[in-house]
């Protein structure tokens, strides 16, 4: 095999690995945003108490970081999950109207995300 052929084979193998990581992460990790009363959802109102929920389906005591943003700036938390397949929750109350996105990271790599809209309250 020539050097060019070897480089092509390595690049193809790297592309396969890069594609496999997100699928593996999707099976292993779950993150969502949940209303304190209503559960997971994509639409809430200002003043609702919300949870950033994260679960590792296969391992216990996974250290993770979750950040949420409304398009500018962000707020991050670092936590560790408990037992395998148990939901770890962080309570928070977003104060502004708009579309938000939360992203969870394990080992510095993004593993899942959730988008929701925070509307005008009563």
Q: What is the mean pLDDT of residues 38-43?
A: 96
In this structure, what CATH number is given to the domain that contains residue 70? 2.60.40.10
Report pLDDT digits (tens) over 68-110: 999 989 999 999 999 999 999 999 999 899 999 999 999 999 9
Q: 44, 50 in Cβ contact below 8 A? A: yes
Residue 48: how many other CB atoms lie within 10 Å: 17
Residue 52 belongs to a domain: yes
* Residue 110: domain span: 29-119
For residue 99, tell me if it sits in a domain. Answer: yes
Tell me the pTM.
0.80
Domains in the chain, number? 1
Provide, rounded to the nearest whole percent, the portion of the chain with pLDDT above 70.
83
């Amino acid at each position: 095999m020539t050097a060019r052929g070897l480089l092509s084979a390595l690049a193809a193998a790297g592309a396969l690995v890069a594609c496999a990581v997100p699928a593996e992460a999707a099976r292993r990790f779950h993150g969502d945003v949940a209303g304190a009363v209503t559960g997971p959802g994509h639409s809430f109102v200002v003043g609702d108490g919300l949870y950033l929920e994260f679960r590792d389906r296969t391992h216990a005591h996974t250290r993770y970081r979750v950040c949420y943003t409304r398009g500018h700036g962000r707020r991050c938390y670092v936590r560790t999950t408990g037992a395998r397949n148990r939901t770890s929750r962080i309570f928070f109350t977003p104060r502004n109207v708009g579309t938000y996105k939360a992203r969870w990271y394990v080992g510095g790599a993004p593993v899942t995300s959730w988008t929701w809209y925070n509307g005008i309250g009563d």
